Amino acid sequence: MQSNAALEYDYSVAKLFTYATILFGFLAMLIGTLIAAQLAFPELNYLIGEYGTFSRLRPVHTNTAIFGFTVGGVFATFYYVGQRVLKVSMAESKFLMFIGKLHFWIWFFGALFATITLLMGYSQSKEYAQYEWPADVAIVILWVLWGISIFGLIGIRREKVLYISMWYYIATFLGIAMLYIFNNMAVPTYFASGGLGSIMHSVSMYSGANDAMVQWWYGHNAVAFGFTVPIVGMIYYFLPKESGQAIYSYKLSLLSFWGLMFLYLWAGAHHLLYSPVPDWVQTMASVFSIVLILPSWGSAINMLLTMKGEWNQLTENPLIKFMVLASTFYMLSTLEGPIQAIKSVNAIAHFTDWIPGHVHDGVLGWVTFMIMASLFHMAPRMFKREIYSRKLIEVQFWLQTTAVVLYFTSMWIAGITQGMMWRAVDEYGNLMYSFIDTVTVLHPYYAIRTLSGVLYFVGFVIFAYNMIKTMSSSRELTEEPQFKSPMA
């Protein structure tokens, strides 16, 4: 065992996940921009036959964004943060190093395989769970490997107190393990039918309203434990480390943690309001969704108050800008979601563009901002080079902030317009507008969304370029920065 003073962290696994996270982020946002353009300009659906249609590309976009970029960012930050808060190096255990690298390669090739199968049209047709059963098996294996890495590092740690970020990583592991396995329980029809049909096809073990309830118990909580819980864990580490400020309240971080753990799991059925599922399930989901504001805002306020007395850092450090604005978008998104879960609001909002407006407010403004800021913080410490260009970070920040604001405002207006037009009746009770009437009215807002996608994608390309130059050719550092990341 090395002494604490001589401890050298091994970032080889974290680096692998960082490279791949940038790659999957590029692919997810490129496809996302294309499908946004397809909604505004339908002729773009026919560029490359069936493989270029919105219906084929949309699940590729969402799943690459989730299981490629976001989950990759979670893994990259874990293999960095875990070592540092537990005061142990991956290099101290050949077994954990082997598990970490095996984890990466199964995840990487599994994600590529799953993306290709979606492009070919293999799908379970479940939101955020389109992957067919072979990809599901790979995901379970890699998730078990991540669990071994988490608890293996904890088992050999020097620091006996688990910092709050580790609580959130553990919760991410346990939550998604439970959700993913139960929602994706299916029978491969090829084996059940004596070799008939496609080997890729499967049938869910649930049906009807039960299938819907399990799916949205999973779907909403995949967002909870993939887009919320680990990202909160990230900011609890990276914001104090970048700013040099202690977390405002450790007790509040614990209260918010247990609030999220208890409340989030009951809110999924708000996706099924006015559906055949039992009314008490719908009502319970609405109530828990409203109460969920408390732990969500508890975390966000704790993050913002961490900067109390140090707001000047917003002008001095662009990474603090990203983190503070990410917290602000988190507050906005976690207020908007519960509002949409109120039955009278949901009657207007459901099936409209207000829903993707809400989702992307959180995903682009909260999740992606925090992952990019985290990778920027990690880069000088992993590669021992200063960040290549501060000016490029500033340009990226303003491009992407403008893009997020354009995205959610255009989709708010489009969604509420849709909802009101669908419900409008004349004095005889007949619908006043046909479906195509709403499509025509919404065209300008779809064009604005396409513009926002282009701006955000350009910002991500700038981020990727800045990271690549940081890794390869920026000025070398003689010692590790303690707090503020050095940048040219």
Encode pLDDT of 286-327 as tens digits: 999 999 999 999 999 999 999 999 999 999 999 999 999 999
Distance CA 357, CA 407 (A): 7
Q: Which helix (H) or strand (E) holds 382?
A: helix 369-383
Residue 425 domain-assigned? yes
Question: Containing domain of residue 483, as a range?
Answer: 351-488
- Sequence letter at residue 296: S
What pLDDT is recorded for position 4?
45
Per the listing, tokens 């979670």 go with: 74
**Please, which pLDDT band fits residue 122 given cuts at 50, 70 and 90?**
very high
Residue 134 domain-assigned? no
Encode pLDDT of 437-474 as tens digits: 999 999 999 999 999 999 999 999 999 999 999 999 99
Distance CA 100, CA 52 (A): 35
Q: Are 210 and 168 in contact (CB under 8 A)?
A: no
Residue 109 domain-assigned? no
Residue 74 domain-assigned? no
Encode pLDDT of 259-276 as tens digits: 999 999 999 999 999 999
Is it the case that residue 411 has pLDDT exceeding 70? yes
Q: How far apart are the first and last CA of the chain?
A: 37
What pLDDT is recorded for position 2?
44
Distance CA 216, CA 221 (A): 8
Distance CA 36, CA 319 (A): 28
**Please, which pLDDT band fits residue 488 given cuts at 50, 70 and 90?**
confident
Encode pLDDT of 127-169 as tens digits: 999 999 999 999 999 999 999 999 999 999 999 999 999 999 9
Return the half-sphere exposure (C-beta side, CA atoms, 13 A cut-off) of residue 164: 26
Residue 363 domain-assigned? yes
Q: Are 129 and 206 in contact (CB under 8 A)?
A: no
Q: Which two tokens stand for residue 213?
A: 């309830």
Q: How far is CA 64 from CA 69, 70, 162, in A?
A: 6, 8, 31
Is it the case that residue 117 has pLDDT exceeding 80? yes
What pLDDT is recorded for position 6?
58
Distance CA 445, CA 426 (A): 26
Q: Are 475 and 386 in contact (CB under 8 A)?
A: yes
What pLDDT is recorded for position 3?
42
Span 24-43, average pLDDT = 96
What pLDDT is recorded for position 196?
86
Span 122-126, average pLDDT = 92
Is it the case that residue 116 has pLDDT exceeding 70? yes
Is it the case that residue 75 has pLDDT exceeding 70? yes
Distance CA 252, CA 372 (A): 26
**Please, which pLDDT band fits residue 192 given cuts at 50, 70 and 90?**
confident
Q: Which two tokens stand for residue 396?
A: 């990226």
Span 40-50, average pLDDT = 91
Q: Are 396 and 389 in contact (CB under 8 A)?
A: no
Q: Which DSSP category does 265 fall into?
A: T
- Sequence letter at residue 376: F
> How many domains, the chain?
1
The mean predicted confidence, pLDDT, of the chain is 94
Centre a 10 Å sphere on the Cβ of residue 98 and count the other Cβ atoms it contains: 11
Span 30-42, average pLDDT = 96
Encode pLDDT of 356-384 as tens digits: 999 999 999 999 999 999 999 999 999 99
**Please, which pLDDT band fits residue 195 given cuts at 50, 70 and 90?**
confident
Residue 372 domain-assigned? yes
Cβ-proximal residues to 409 (8 Å cutoff; 6+ apart), any chain: none
Distance CA 168, CA 165 (A): 5
Is it the case that residue 209 has pLDDT exceeding 60? yes
Is it the case that residue 208 has pLDDT exceeding 50? yes
Radius of gyration of the chain (CA): 23
What pLDDT is recorded for position 397?
97
Q: Are 103 and 75 in contact (CB under 8 A)?
A: yes
Residue 1 domain-assigned? no
- Sequence letter at residue 349: A
Is it the case that residue 108 has pLDDT exceeding 70? yes
Residue 464 domain-assigned? yes
Q: Are 200 and 117 in contact (CB under 8 A)?
A: yes
